[in-house]
Structure 1
Amino acid sequence: MSSTIFSVVDIETTGTSQSNDNRIIQFSCTFVKNKNIIGSFNSFINPEMDIPSDITKLTGITNELVKNAPTFNEFASKISSLLKDTVFVAHNVDFDFPFINKELDRVGQKMIDNMAIDTVTLSQLLLPTEKSYRLIDLSQNLNILHQHPHSSSSDAFATAKLLIILFNQIEKIPKKTIKQLISINPTLPKNTIDIFKYAYKNNVDMFNDKLLDINRLKIRKIQYKERLKIRKINYPESKGKQKNIFNGVYKWNSEESKLMNSIYDNYKNSDNSKNLLVEQNNELDYDLGFLFPLVHLLNNENKIVVAVHKHSIHEDLSKTINRINKITKNNFKKLVLHSIDDYIDLNKFRDALNIKSNSKQTEFLKCKILIWLTFTKTGDLHELNLDMKNDQNVFLKTIGNTNNKGYYMNKLKNDFNNSNVVVISHEYLYNNRHMLAKYKPYLVIKDAVDFNKQILKHYRVNFKINQNNILIRHAQYLLYQTHNKNLYDIFKDDKSNIKLVQNIDSLIKEYENYALKLQKSFEESFINKRNFITLKKGFKNPINNIELVNFIKHNKEYIDKQSSLIKQIRSLSKKIIKSNGTLKSSEKAIITTFNDRIFNLNKFFNNNILLIKNLVYMDKKVTFQNYLNVDKNADNSTLVGGLIKNDDLLKNKIYTLFFNILFMDTAIYSSDKSEFILNKLELDNNNTSMIKSSYQTNLNNDYKIFYNNNKQEIDLNTLDLENNNTFIMANTQEKIDEIYENIKQNGNDSLLVLCQKINGNKDKIIKKFTNSKGATIIGNYDLFMSIKNINKSINRLIVQSINSSDMYNENSNLTDLYNLMIKNSIKHIIQLSNNKGVILINDFSLINENSIKSLKNMISNHIKMFKIDSKNEIRTFNNF
């Protein structure tokens, strides 16, 4: 395309809807030829209407600025001449291209029919590990100068620079990979696929010793490195020694030094060490604080294992490890470790390429992964930064490793053996606790307050009553499907395997029969002719524990039969997998998918049906509830329940394997006493030491906490929500919906309100907020704590309702829990704000003499609390 001119276009408009009411207010175009910028054009356009205030806020374009600019009617011919004989390029071409054509058509001009390509899609494919494909984020990560986001001239220039980077990137992709991508024929905007067709035709494959051919795929070659032994180092216990070795690498801090010394002193003599509870604040580097002393205790055999609630909300400690290596002149290695099914199985992926999916997203993911394989060194699907639990990305789970073998598994085992610090999730710790315990690691549990909750998930259920039968049908579909080969078709000439298929088919039907009997028995025992508790959206049906025990006893035969049958089915399906060596890739993919579906059926039975049977016989408190929709359809009803709390669970499952654990969290102490967290974590006060830094900057000038001292809630519409990003916290969906309706009824159209569930799930809300100029978010505590590492501040937090509808806490004293949530929320708003913020506690369950006193003790004096019970104080809140 050396002679082709690319016109990189960006427009600003009065609104994002392509209705006749919206107009273009700025048109910009940067021209690219032969990977060089050769010119640009920019003009404001008079929309002949007022520009909405939120658009002015976003773009900086005012009515005054466009007053003397040409109208679109006057400007239309110029656009046509500028774009003539060029390839149209835009960052989201499906917005700019049709919007321009709509406007051309409106003024009676001929619409453009240029070849058009989309840089969002190209970026998603050619830069598959980026966390965000917003132009502003790509510009920042790729060092593209982008001075004025949402100014079309700056956006067009940045997109042109991005286009050049993408052209350079596609030249590095092997032709074999490009050919496979083209053969998938993904649905891409406009003519974007033609860029790959041109590259396949014109690229010259240069010898690349960093690539391998494996399973008919182009793969980045993995370099195995020999393990470098770490040098035994003495811990610098004195202030002078610490200052000396930190010099030039990190600014020594006396408070961090106290933390490091306390941790080192606790663990240097294993006979005298205890569990440690460390409460973090916003002032210190706690990753350095715990890693620096612990690495001085390492030898070449043991490890430091760091367990976190979620990988996504933590840095992976790379910067801290690099800093420690500089300070200590050592070579400590770190590994982030996921479940094995989060690593790609190349055999599964190769076979899946030969099965055409009806899902456009799946076909697109195949293309993205093909390119990613040419440079990933780990095969870790998390590198793609996709939500693995999202139904749209279900394909990722079908290509995950399940047998702990293969190209990337060998690399993972090598990296694990070479690592000194391993970062895992709480979930991974529980599932692999025996393997990890063999290394006698120093175990650090971050996000400690959530730790018991993650373990309790293994002793609780939440499933639709008909889920067992749905999974059965998923497996049966591959036995009888007609739009593609089924298992009978694949083995029709193979007597041995056709017999296996027939046996599996028969066993599944028998399993289905017992599953239906069990479901019918449940409906008769707990749903038919029962009086339900009416909820806003459906009904609640509490399950009596004695009745549940009797139900399990009465239906023991059905459960035991299913248990026996699913084991037989699983065993036979594995035999089919082992005998598929001579089959086509497309046939292997069908067999692999069938085996995965049997695996999922087996997993469901063990984690739900069998678990309930085991739970009711345990000598521990359990609770179960059945929730129905408004139609009272039993099939679609949900069964929720399990252990109420973790009595001795952590002691038996974790503490018998790991000793003297270091627990860390941002909010641990809910009062002067520590019984709440000690009980929650099943820790003995005699074997646990507390570390809490007293060092905190006085924030009284920059942050204020108000609490409503009236007898009624403050009307949110009296608060200024428009000029600051605000989070309104409520912990039940009913309350969230109520707040949303109240604000929307006030009729403030310029206020963007993002409401949990109404406007999407957690990830969608955060994405929409990040892309907005400003917003008010309504959601629960979990959503608030998930907002991290975004380039947008939240300056206001309104705690409207802290009470949750958690069935496991219904009979508990929740004061300590709520205090921790408030404390954590205050710390979090300090992190999210731009050095100034305000908190309003508008929930009366938190406003009594004891609660306020307790909160004041927790927060100490670095932020003061004020009553708010008059219009003057509301004005103070609004103006702060």
Structure 2
Amino acid sequence: MLNRDIYAVVDLETTRTTSETGRIIQIAVAFVQNKKIINQFSTLVNPCEQIPRNITQLTGITQNMVKGAPFFEDVAMTLHAMLQGTIFVAHNVNFDLPFLNAEFERVGLTALKSTALDTVPLSQILWPTAPGYRLVDMTNYLSLEHNHPHQADSDALATGELLIAILKRAEGLPMITLQALADLPLVLPRDTKTVFEKALAKNQAEPQPLPSHLQVIDSLALRRFSEPAPLVTGKATSYPAKKAAKEQLYGKTLAYREQQAKLMNAIYTHYTEAELSETPGETAFVAEAPTGMGKTLAYLLPYAYLADEQRKQVVVAVPTITLQQQVTETINTTLKDILPFEVRGASLKGRTHYLNLQSFKRALRVDEGSTSLQFIKAQILVWLTETLTGDFDELNLINPQVDFMAKLAQPANNPAGSPYYGHEFSERQHVLAQNAQFLVVNHAYLAEYAAELGDSIDTPYLIIDEAQNLPNAVLEQSRHQLPFQVWLTRVQNATNLVLRDNEPSIGIILNRLVGGQQLKSRFLQSLEALSSELPKLQVAFYRRFLLNGHTPATEGHYEVELPISDLAQFWVDQTHRLQSMRQAVRDLADSLDYLLAQFSNTKNAFSLSERQHLADFRRLLESIAKYEQRLTTFQQDLVDFPDASVFWLTENQNHDNSNLKLSGGLLHTLDFFKDKVYPHFMPPTVIGATLFTSTKSGYLYDRLNIDRETVFARRYPEVFDFAHQAELVMVENAPSPTDGGYVSYLAKQLVQLTTTVQENTLVLFNSLETIQQVYNHMQSNQTWQQGNMTLLAQGMTGTRSKIMKRMANESHLVVLGANSFWEGIDLPGDQLRLVVIARLPFDQPNTVLQRAEEAVLMAHGKQPFYQSTLPKAVLRLRQGVGRLIRKPDDFGAVVIYDPRILTKSYGKTLRNMMPDQMPQHVSQDRDVVPELKKFFDQHR
């Protein structure tokens, strides 16, 4: 930064988000020079209109506060003069600068034509692993002072401090990284890219030595990786079985917990004293350990001693990437700090999680035409200077494209010939794994790589955490859908883009490339082959499987299961057609590679609009290829799992064969774990907070292929005081969820309940369709509109992660969620006080999957409802209720509006599996609100 450069960091608070309808209510400027804040300006502004309630809630600025403030006309001249000759900076500059210029022009002043920078994309590139990029996120992440978020004076000062951090960070990057950033066809708001260009110029004028923690390999600056020293094992002292021994081990780091200690001892005793079977699935250790017990440490500590004594590794399988990170961190911090011997944990993920350096270097040379992809490359260039793992999960990318990220993870054809050989991140992880007692994986990784894990580390121990999720992980990983009409439409769209010679089109781009006409012919030939064969394949499916009969329609469509033997013969009969389609997809990929190479070589010849059209065309071709890969997957599943797979066709209720969908995958896990997983490990430890579905049910054992005759099972009592911390209210006079008026009824109940109680609420549903209906009813309710609660709905107002972030940071929220909201959510304290179960979580009836699973169970002499349908619902309900109490000082209530929990014979099973000592009340709907208001008043 040159000494004379003055940065004017501006923040506005406005009545609305557009200058056409909104007015400024506060302006603040922080002036930065030489990486210091040298001056400030701030004033409230009288907007001459009413400030909306939501703006007052957000900013704290009231009508009374601006009543005596100057009008914009009074401060415009002074402000305009202040900003002349400065570099305009804002956190989202394309809001603040146009809005301010519109106000200047409204009062007769000229618009500012300043150089302008945006701190949002700069933050995203320079701190690619930050948890969020709102101003409050960045100030928290960088420990910058930010006293009053959403007030312009505080926001401007905080953005000024952020700008200083940005300039220092940019200038501290290696020259080779800055050069790569400058070379990228990077499209950033206004003049934002000049930050990197200035940093590069300064570095070139005053070259800085490469920091010792970095190295440059083939023009990429990377964080150095040092191979860890070999792990020294066999140093463990005797296992601390007694309370006094554990307390001595914990010191001041951990508190002794009685139930946790009992679980620790039970695990250690089982694997040292029990006679363990070598038959897969026998002599497993199963423990249901409730939330708050500390089950992670409860299994890690005894296994650390077992691993050290027996010179074996321990594989820990958990359901989610987040939990994988947490368990690995617990091993390498908490466990490491208390044990008298060395312990290490390494996290292992599939290849697609890790950046491949050679593939990334190749991607840097390719201009895909996409501004978003170039932005991701910029983030990765900076990330390489700090990451030791190369794990994509470290990055906070905005809408990353799956296909592009898969390409960046793709290993080179000749890895030994790559300059990055020996430095690739996937290789680093396996080096770490070889020198660790604990290998932490997710459920999907365990299912896919069990043989590799077991064979490479000599029959390791196995812990399956939250084991109730493992069968579903296996099934979901195997299931795919192929909508023929969507596939064909994309082929036709691609054809039209190539044929069209007027703007905008790929045809125009091809006309300007060397060899473009020949390339156009190659594209058209491949696309025409697909356009010809796809409808024929669709018709063949229809004639072979659907023409002569239909099953009852489910929600407007028909599902027809395909007999395995008939489908196998169908694939044989269609061999020639499938080969032709496969070759056409391969030819499309080759043509696309050539197109991208020619486009990249023709620098600065195409507009931003043309670049974006190329990016759209590339994504279109990649989606076409993905559907062809699904066909191959279906054929492979038929070969690998003929007895455990199910395939079905779906068509519209009007028998329109142009809307066929082919679906398929594994139906059940019958013998899957016994054949594919357990043979490679010691008898497993199976653990979770909600494993059992009744006192007698063998559902868990059946799904996990565990021999119930030899299993060692323990169910530990709740550690929370549910008698005083929670209550369950079941509404006995609610209509059945199948009644036509149920949605309207539920919406009215929710409005009345939440606007009165005023607590963060999670409402759990079984379908997104019902969520949408309830959301619309609530939003149109007059009582709701007059209240101060905010309604969020999965699939409508944001993703699960965005909604979760808001629940963690905001109050007066009502969230409507399905599927993933039933489990894996940790929102203690005021983040969640009320859970509402809209409908008991039974699977949708009469689907192909449901019918096929029932047929399998009946063939084995079992009752489908009691052996599958009900146990699934019990687990789901227990998981939903488990979202509520997360800490010893927590409190909250659960309301169930499905009367079947009281009226049906299976309701007793559901009620009996609720947390021990949790008060259960049966109420009329009119009594729910006063009862809950009393509960919360007492606990407040």
1:522 is aligned to 2:541: yes
Structure 2 contact 901–908 (Cα < 8 Å) conserved? no
1:716 is aligned to 2:733: no
CA distance in 1: counterparts of 2:441 and 2:699, whole angstroms: 26
CA distance in 2: counterparts of 1:594 and 1:64, whole angstroms: 55
Unaligned ranges ≥5, structure 2? 278-282, 416-420, 500-505, 603-614, 736-744, 855-863
Distance 1:544 1:569, change over 3 A: closer
Q: Residue by residue, what CA displacement relative to the aligned partner does 1:2-39 show, whole Å, maximum 9, x if unpaired? A: 33222222233333x21533333332332322112223
Structure 1 contact 279–691 (Cα < 8 Å) conserved? yes
Q: Residue by residue, what CA displacement relative to the aligned partner does 1:537-561 show, whole Å, maximum 9, x if unpaired? A: xx42221444x74354245232487
1:400 is aligned to 2:426: no
Distance 1:279 1:721, change over 3 A: farther
1:654 is aligned to 2:677: yes
Distance 1:67 1:82, change over 3 A: same
One-letter amino acid matched to 2:391: D
Structure 2 contact 527–584 (Cα < 8 Å) conserved? no
CA distance in 2: counterparts of 1:159 and 1:734, whole angstroms: 41
Structure 1 contact 573–598 (Cα < 8 Å) conserved? no
CA distance in 1: counterparts of 2:658 and 2:209, whole angstroms: 59
**2:823: which partner in 1?**
785
Q: Residue by residue, what CA displacement relative to the aligned partner does 1:357-393 show, whole Å, maximum 9, x if unpaired? A: 2222111111111111222222222221348xx5645
**1:869: which partner in 2?**
924
Q: Residue by residue, what CA displacement relative to the aligned partner does 1:417-457 show, whole Å, maximum 9, x if unpaired? A: 11221111111112211110122221111221111111123
CA distance in 2: counterparts of 1:470 and 1:316, whole angstroms: 45
1:420 is aligned to 2:443: no
Structure 1 contact 220–374 (Cα < 8 Å) conserved? yes
Structure 2 contact 673–705 (Cα < 8 Å) conserved? yes
Match of 1:232 among 231, 235, 246: 235
Structure 1 contact 795–832 (Cα < 8 Å) conserved? no
CA distance in 2: counterparts of 1:660 and 1:474, whole angstroms: 54
**1:321: which partner in 2?**
332
Distance 1:692 1:142, change over 3 A: farther
Structure 2 contact 718–915 (Cα < 8 Å) conserved? no
Distance 1:187 1:43, change over 3 A: same
CA distance in 1: counterparts of 2:361 and 2:508, whole angstroms: 21
**1:46: which partner in 2?**
46
**1:57: which partner in 2?**
57
Secondary structure (helix, strand or coil) at the match of 1:191 reads: coil
CA displacement at 1:245 relative to structure 2: 1.6
CA displacement at 1:847 relative to structure 2: 3.4
CA displacement at 1:305 relative to structure 2: 1.1
Q: Residue by residue, what CA displacement relative to the aligned partner does 1:260-309 show, whole Å, maximum 9, x if unpaired? A: 11111111246347312222323222221111100101148531111122
Deviates more, 1:727-736 or 1:41-50: 41-50
Distance 1:250 1:77, change over 3 A: same
CA distance in 2: counterparts of 1:226 and 1:484, whole angstroms: 55
CA displacement at 1:475 relative to structure 2: 12
**2:611: which partner in 1?**
none
CA displacement at 1:490 relative to structure 2: 9.6
1:624 is aligned to 2:648: yes
CA distance in 2: counterparts of 1:556 and 1:86, whole angstroms: 72
Distance 1:290 1:728, change over 3 A: same
Match of 1:307 among 317, 323, 328: 317
Structure 2 contact 285–686 (Cα < 8 Å) conserved? yes
CA displacement at 1:746 relative to structure 2: 0.8
One-letter amino acid matched to 1:523: Y
CA displacement at 1:529 relative to structure 2: 8.7
**2:610: which partner in 1?**
none
1:298 is aligned to 2:336: no
Q: Residue by residue, what CA displacement relative to the aligned partner does 1:584-621 show, whole Å, maximum 9, x if unpaired? A: 9979xx9x999999995774333124435766xx3457
Distance 1:509 1:263, change over 3 A: farther
1:242 is aligned to 2:246: yes
CA displacement at 1:458 relative to structure 2: 5.0
Structure 2 contact 19–103 (Cα < 8 Å) conserved? no
Deviates more, 1:295-304 or 1:817-826: 295-304
CA displacement at 1:506 relative to structure 2: 10
Structure 2 contact 296–327 (Cα < 8 Å) conserved? no
Structure 1 contact 307–424 (Cα < 8 Å) conserved? yes
Identity %: 25
**1:550: which partner in 2?**
566
Structure 1 contact 303–422 (Cα < 8 Å) conserved? yes
CA distance in 1: counterparts of 2:5 and 2:638, whole angstroms: 66
Deviates more, 1:649-658 or 1:81-90: 81-90
Deviates more, 1:703-712 or 1:600-609: 600-609
How do 1:211-360 residues align onto structure 2 when only pairs under 5 Å count? 211-233=214-236, 234-269=238-273, 271-272=275-276, 274-299=283-308, 302-314=312-324, 315-360=326-371
Distance 1:569 1:157, change over 3 A: closer
1:815 is aligned to 2:831: no
CA distance in 1: counterparts of 2:598 and 2:102, whole angstroms: 52
CA displacement at 1:400 relative to structure 2: 0.8
CA RMSD of aligned residues (A): 4.2
**2:428: which partner in 1?**
411
CA distance in 2: counterparts of 1:99 and 1:778, whole angstroms: 35
CA distance in 2: counterparts of 1:469 and 1:733, whole angstroms: 27
Secondary structure (helix, strand or coil) at the match of 2:195 reads: helix
Structure 1 contact 115–191 (Cα < 8 Å) conserved? yes
CA displacement at 1:198 relative to structure 2: 1.1
How do 1:505-654 residues align onto structure 2 when only pairs under 5 Å count? 517-526=536-545, 539-546=556-563, 549-550=565-566, 552-559=568-575, 562=578, 603-612=629-638, 618-620=642-644, 622=646, 624-628=648-652, 634=657, 637-654=660-677
**2:609: which partner in 1?**
none
Structure 1 contact 28–43 (Cα < 8 Å) conserved? yes
CA displacement at 1:869 relative to structure 2: 0.4
Structure 1 contact 540–625 (Cα < 8 Å) conserved? no
**1:663: which partner in 2?**
686
TM-score (norm 2): 0.81
One-letter amino acid matched to 1:826: V
One-letter amino acid matched to 1:23: R
1:187 is aligned to 2:187: yes
One-letter amino acid matched to 1:11: L
Q: Residue by residue, what CA displacement relative to the aligned partner does 1:468-503 show, whole Å, maximum 9, x if unpaired? A: 7789999999999978899x989999xxxx9xxx99
Structure 1 contact 730–803 (Cα < 8 Å) conserved? no
**1:205: which partner in 2?**
207
CA distance in 2: counterparts of 1:457 and 1:571, whole angstroms: 31
Q: Residue by residue, what CA displacement relative to the aligned partner does 1:236-277 show, whole Å, maximum 9, x if unpaired? A: 112221111211222222222111111111112463473122
Secondary structure (helix, strand or coil) at the match of 2:441 reads: strand
Distance 1:243 1:330, change over 3 A: same
How do 1:756-795 residues align onto structure 2 when only pairs under 5 Å count? 756-766=794-804, 774-785=812-823, 787-788=825-826, 793-795=831-833
Distance 1:554 1:236, change over 3 A: closer
One-letter amino acid matched to 2:715: K
**1:805: which partner in 2?**
844
Deviates more, 1:397-406 or 1:725-734: 397-406
Structure 2 contact 539–657 (Cα < 8 Å) conserved? no
How do 1:366-377 residues align onto structure 2 when only pairs under 5 Å count? 366-377=377-388
Distance 1:515 1:173, change over 3 A: same
**1:447: which partner in 2?**
466
CA displacement at 1:772 relative to structure 2: 6.0
Structure 2 contact 562–649 (Cα < 8 Å) conserved? no
One-letter amino acid matched to 1:237: A
Secondary structure (helix, strand or coil) at the match of 1:297 reads: helix
How do 1:447-486 residues align onto structure 2 when only pairs under 5 Å count? 447-465=466-484
TM-score (norm 1): 0.86
Secondary structure (helix, strand or coil) at the match of 1:298 reads: helix
One-letter amino acid matched to 2:769: E
Structure 1 contact 302–420 (Cα < 8 Å) conserved? yes
